Structures are given as structure tokens and as C-alpha cells.
Amino acid sequence: MNVRLLIVFSIFISGVGRGEDLPRWSPENTFVLIVGVLDWQQSSLTTYAKAQRQDVALENQLLARGVPADQITRLLDRDATLKAIERELEDLARRAAPESTLMVYYAGHGMREGGQGVFANFDIDTRRALQTGWTHQSMFETISQHFHGKRVLLFADCCYSGTLEDVAAKLQTKGYAAACLTSASSSNLSTSNWTFTLTLIDLLKGQSLADQNQDDKIALREAALEVAQSMRHFEDQRSGFALAGMSGDLVLAEASEHERMGSVQPPLRRGQYITVSSDGRDANARIVDADALTGRLVVRYRDYSQFRTALVDPGLVQPIYEQVGPGGLPVALPVELALRRASVDGKYRELLRSFSMPSEYETYGSFKEWGKWDGEQWGGQTDLPPGYWVYVYPKWYIWGETSVDPRRARLAELKATRQEVAARIGSLRKALENATAQEEQVKASIVELESEWSDPK
């Protein structure tokens, strides 16, 4: 299980109001603990490349935003023992003034034990994770006992990072305004890439693509939507977001000005996620701009520890229609766009029936072109007509005709199957990587249980 990041912010808010009087994060009143662990004392835990590590890049961005250097404590790798983490968090919490910000950042591995989240400090023994790891309960107790500020914000990029919702909820009961924004929900694994951190750094820089309502500000709720889209389209995973007494209007940054090189031609648009087909391979990207001279799209790809840009021909791209909301949950398309998507851009005609079945998202995602099926019953529906089935969240659409030659349809079907297989291979590779980190813990648990329940000799 891979944890790339955990960040805990407690945010000073200058006031609540309208327009220019929106609540704002105050960097100069912020105390920061940065904990980054990319290798461990326990050799069975998967290690990560330290080149271009984004925990350090995040620290640099916080400094650039105005957090004083003497208010930042950093613990990396072997310096990040459990004792050191808890000591430094307590020290920062004690030093923070009533109106100040407390920020805690963690990068490493994470797991669920005993109904709570645990993050792997350098000296963790995963066979005794609750006793030797940095637990969510310990984090909550340290903050609630020693921090005298009012607001706490939790950010996490880790397997099961959504379990931080429990910490936020507990902090709210102690009088704090809390929230959490995470790369994963409480029930899914997380990528080993730095995608969440890269997105977070962009947000703190004021990435204009995140300014959904174009008010020249990046609010917490907009940040959650930006993270949800980035994690869904670049990493194929659901993120997490919860407010526990904190305003979603909290301003994290002023949106930076963007100098456009050209106009993105409809139906494509700036900021849209797309699939680029090149050299027999498909890769997701995001439209940043268009080149005024060539008309080619300026797109952004995700690598392990960076976003990179490239120029691509508009003819090589397909728009990603799926939309997600804060927390990574799907959002239904507008009726007209949903019908266009369901017809596969005119491939199918004569809509015979449609019916809602949101639960199919867990099986097929936001879109599935099933093809010809003559079944009469499905999902509690009866007397269904034979036809061509297409799923666009949250509905199935049954069409009577196809305008595509059968041979061309078969080629399109084979291409779609190849794309699904490639995506499945990528998911399996990610699952294998995550499973490796758990293998030692599982083996140790088996040995322990066998020892406890073996017959006495």
C-alpha cells in the first residue's frame, strides 16, 4: 500500500464574508512539520526514487508563499522516527499562537490497522503497526492536546488516506474547524506517483486551470475538484474530500494570470482531459493551450515526479467525457451531452429505452459501449427491447440502429478491447506493486497466528 503524501494543515482564517472578505489561508502565521520517508529500516517495505522528490518541492513552494523558514521543521527518511515525529509535532503545536496555522506533511507508506489509519515512520515494524507506527489516533491526540489554534486541514496522498476523515471529524468535536483532502478514499489504494503533490503545489502556486468560477481565486472546494480530476484521469483512482466545520470557500491562493498562445477550437476546451493516441498507444493528458502558429494543442502529461508538456495534433485526441466532483465521485453529464456520448457521437440512432442504474459505475466506470444484446431483463427492468447497449453514468441506453459498417464496428470494438486490456494491465501492475509492500506484513501475521494456535508439544 503506497502513501505518497499526508499533509495536515491548520488554517488561520481572517474572517468569513462575501466577495473580497472570503476566508484566507495566512502563510506568515503558519508552523510546518514536513515528514518524508522514501526508504525504511524494514527492508521488506517498497522504497521510492529520491530524485525530484516532491516533499522538498512542496517545502520550497511554502517558503515562496511566505511561510517563515524558522517556522518549518523537516524530517526526511531515517530522521523521521516515530519518536521524532511525535516530538516535533508537539513542539510546533505548542509554539503555534491561537490565531496561527499548524501544517503537518507526511510522505511514505500507509495502511489500515484496528479500524484506523497508520502511517509508516522510518522505524516502523509492520507486524506491530499500531504499536510502532504513526497512528491517526496519535496524530489527533497530539493536535487536540497541544494546538491552541482554531482550524485544521488534512491533506493526504496515500492508500486509504480517506480515513483522515475520522481525524477531521474528531477534531471538530474538540472545537476546531477541520477538513481533509486526500488522494484516495478510505477504501482504495493510492498510486506510487507524486501526482497528488504535484497538483497540490500547482494549487498553492495559483494554477489558473483550477479557478472553476473564474473569480481569480483558488478556494478549498475548487482545490478538491482539481485533485479529484487529476487523480481520476491520470491515476484512475478515486480521491477523498470532507468538510468538518471548515468553509469550502477558504482561499488557498490567488489564481495566476495565464498568457494564452492561441485559442482551443470547440468542441475541445482549455483544461479538458483527453486521451491522446500516438504510436499505437493511448495516454491521458490535459489541454493547457493551443499553439497560435500551428494550431496544435499544448497538452500536459504526468510522469512519476513531474508534469511535462508537449504539442499534439488535434486529430490524435479524444475528449474524456467523464466528470468527477470533489471526492472523486462521478457527476452525471447534462442531458444533451449524455445523449451525444451515449450515441457514441452518432454511431447509434433511434433510442428505444433508457433507465437509471448508478450502481453499474462500480463495474463499468462512467462509460461502457456494450454492443448488441437481446436480453429482456436487467437491473429490475423487464420487457427490454433488443438493441445496442451503451452505459453513460448513471443510465443504460438501448439503441435500435447503428450507422456504422459491421466491419468498421468490429475494428472499433477490437481497438476498444485493446484499450481496456492495456488499462487492466496498468491496474494489475499497480496492484502488484502495492501488494509487494503488504507481503511481509501478511507473512508475519500468518506466522504469529500459527504460533498462537498450534497444538502444544
- On the question of pLDDT at 16 being above 50, the answer is no
CA dist list (Å): 313 to 150, 268, 292, 296 = 50, 12, 13, 5
More confident residue, 201 or 359: 201
- pTM for this predicted structure: 0.74
- On the question of pLDDT at 327 being above 50, the answer is yes
Q: What is the 3-state secondary structure (H, E, C) of the chain?
A: CEEEEEEEEECCCCCCCCHHHCCECCHHHEEEEEEECCCCCCCCCCCCCCCCCHHHHHHHHHHHHCCCHHHEEEEEHHHCCHHHHHHHHHHHHHHCCCCCEEEEEEEEEEEEECCEEEECCCCCCHHHHHHHCEEHHHHHHHHHHHCCCCEEEEEEEECCHHHHHHHHHHHHHCCCEEEEEECCCCCCCCCCCCHHHHHHHHHHHCCHHHCCCCCCEEEHHHHHHHHHHHHHHHHCCCCEEEEEECCCCCEEEECCCCCCCCCCCCCCCCCCEEEEEECCEEEEEEEEEECCCCCCEEEEEECCCCEEEEEECHHHEEECCCEECCCCCEECCCHHHHHHHHCCCCCEEEEEEEEECHHHHHHHCCEEEEEEECCCCECCECCCCCEEEEEECCEEEEEEEECCCHHHHHHHHHHHHHHHHHHHHHHHHHHHHHHHHHHHHHHHHHHHHHHHHCCCC
pLDDT in tens, 63-78: 999 999 999 999 999 9
Residue 258's pLDDT band (cuts 50, 70, 90): low
Output the pLDDT for position 230: 95
- According to DSSP, the β-strands at 101-113 and 30-36 are parallel
Average pLDDT of span 258-275: 80
Output the pLDDT for position 71: 92
Average pLDDT over the chain, rounded to whole?
85
pLDDT in tens, 225-256: 999 999 999 998 989 899 999 999 999 999 98
Cis peptide before 394 (omega within 30 of 0): yes
Residue 84's pLDDT band (cuts 50, 70, 90): very high
Average pLDDT of span 212-226: 92
Output the pLDDT for position 435: 66
Output the pLDDT for position 264: 87
Q: What cell numbers appear for 414 in the block?
A: 477490437
pLDDT in tens, 404-415: 665 666 666 666
Share of the chain above pLDDT 90, in %: 53
Output the pLDDT for position 184: 84
- On the question of pLDDT at 129 being above 90, the answer is yes
Question: Are 317 and 297 in contact, with CB atoms under 8 Å apart?
Answer: yes
- According to DSSP, the β-strands at 134-135 and 72-76 are unpaired
Average pLDDT of span 279-296: 90
Residues whose CB falls within 8 Å of the CB of residue 215, separated by 6 or more in sequence, listed in order: 255
Residue 8's pLDDT band (cuts 50, 70, 90): very low
Output the pLDDT for position 431: 64
Output the pLDDT for position 18: 39
